[in-house]
Amino acid sequence: MKILKCIAFSALAISGSMFMASCGGSGNGSNGDNVSNAASGDNNNILGAGSTFDNPLFSKMFSEYNKINGLKVNYQSIGSGGGIQQLTAKTVDFGASDAPLNGKQDSALSGPAIHIPVTAGAVVVTYNLPGIKDTLLMTPDVLAKIFLGKITKWNDPAIQAINQGVKLPATGIVVSHRSDGSGTTNIFTTYLTKVNKDWEAGPGKGSSVNWPVGLGGKGNEGVAGSVKQTPGGIGYVELAYAIQNAMSFAKMQNKAGKFITPNIASVTAAANIEIPADAKVSLTNTEAADGYPISGLSWVIIYKEQKYGDRNSDKVTKMVKLLQWMVHEGQQYSAPLNYAPLSEKAVSIADAQLKSITFDGKPVLQ
């Protein structure tokens, strides 16, 4: 009996401590707690987490940088939101995100953070119309109406009007979108929110939204798969993915009224606009005349004041030098991987941001 009582008590104690532990960790969510708490420690090891979109480019950049400087960067592509949470919890040295911090995320951080643009990407509208070889033209209004479910047939007069001379079939339009929360969705919905009032009042912008129509596919491959399989399908995927898989994608009309083919040059061009000093800018619906309108920057986000925890100035200097290299020399690895290199204006803003990083109040870069 005594033993049983003793066991019951200890079981209670264990469950109690579990409960307490769960209370303690609830403040910033437990998303991606698997990233080990190694933000401090070895000076030659930098830990980053975030955007999956950046991952192929980062892998290449970090391995090249490792050959030159021997610095090891451990980057975990857990998603932009996860990266920001890890940065908030200070378990990583830098976060990477396809969307700038929003108000809530910003206020959750313990100090001011800065955004350093590192690359640019684009989202393309891909479709499956058997027998149609011409590239479709698309206007913002028609695109929004298709994704709102207001245009349901390919031979709708609105689509036919912008594609004179193309014999569009009477097939129904089957919309596909991402089912997982993603930066790609964020760029796409931000664009639709900017160009269409109904979209703004309806689904709005975010990494997951309440889609009025369509099927969800997991990842670029999920959307691409469902578009490829469904005659009459339309969806959106990352530019790099569409190029690598030789998918057909539409030319989008930009703010200046020109129809732009999405490619590396037109995405870089989209970033050739006045960028605010904090670099938090959405390139969607860009003012640039030859810029592709559904483009976006991707940022590395770090704390402006780098003296926190048990970090030392040697490590911080190494990290800032790495970021500087990524913005300059590292850009040569963008184009081969179908990422758009930063525009001149973006690079100059990134430089200004890097100079503002401090360690114990003193600037890290002289």
Using CB under 8 A as the binding rule, whether residue 100 contacts other proteins is answered as no
Interacting residues with other proteins between 145 and 204 (CB under 8 A): 172, 174, 179-183, 203-204
Q: Is 303 helix (H, G, I), strand (E, B) or coil?
A: strand
d(CA 151, CA 212): 12
Q: Note whether 208 binds other proteins by CB under 8 A.
A: yes
| Among 301, 306, 310, CA closest to 358 | 306
Which residues, at least 6 apart from 330, have a Cβ–Cβ distance to it below 8 Å? 61, 64, 65, 118
Tell me if residue 114 falls in helix, strand or coil: strand
Instruction: List binders of other proteins among 12-41 (CB under 8 A).
Output: 14-15, 18-19, 22-23, 26, 29-32
Residue 110 sits in the site that holds other proteins (CB under 8 A):
no
Residue of 5, 210, 246, 362 that binds other proteins (CB under 8 A)? 210
CB 66 to other proteins: min, Å:
27
Residues 101 and 99: their CA atoms lie apart, in Å, by: 6
| Residue 95 binds to other proteins (criterion: CB under 8 A) | no
Q: Residues 65, 211, 241, 359: which binds other proteins (CB under 8 A)? A: 211
Contact between 80 and other proteins per CB under 8 A? yes
Does 205 contact other proteins by CB under 8 A?
Answer: yes
Angle (CA) 80-248-97 rounded to 5° is 10
39, 61, 84, 125: which one contacts other proteins (CB under 8 A)?
84
Kindly state the tokens that stand for 87: 């940065």
Choose, by CB under 8 A, the member of 216, 248, 263, 337 that binds other proteins. 216
Least CB distance to other proteins at residue 329 (A): 31
CB 237 within 8 A of CB 184: yes
Residue with smaller CB distance to other proteins, 169 or 225: 225
| Residue closer to other proteins, measured from CB, 23 or 170 | 23
Count the helices and strands in the chain (H runs, E runs). 13, 13
Helices (H), the chain: 2-24, 55-69, 80-88, 103-108, 140-148, 157-162, 183-195, 197-201, 219-229, 239-244, 264-270, 313-327, 344-355
Backbone angles phi, psi at 297, to 5 degrees: -85, 160
Binding-site member from 48, 79, 140, 293 for other proteins (CB under 8 A): 79
Residue 29's region, left for phi above 0, alpha for psi from -120 to 50, else beta, is left
Within 220-249, which residues bind other proteins (CB under 8 A)? 222, 225-226, 229-230
Q: How far is the CB of 363 from other proteins (least distance, A)?
A: 31
Residues at the site binding other proteins, with contacts judged by CB under 8 A: 3-4, 7-8, 10-11, 14-15, 18-19, 22-23, 26, 29-32, 78-82, 84, 102, 104-105, 172, 174, 179-183, 203-211, 213-218, 222, 225-226, 229-230
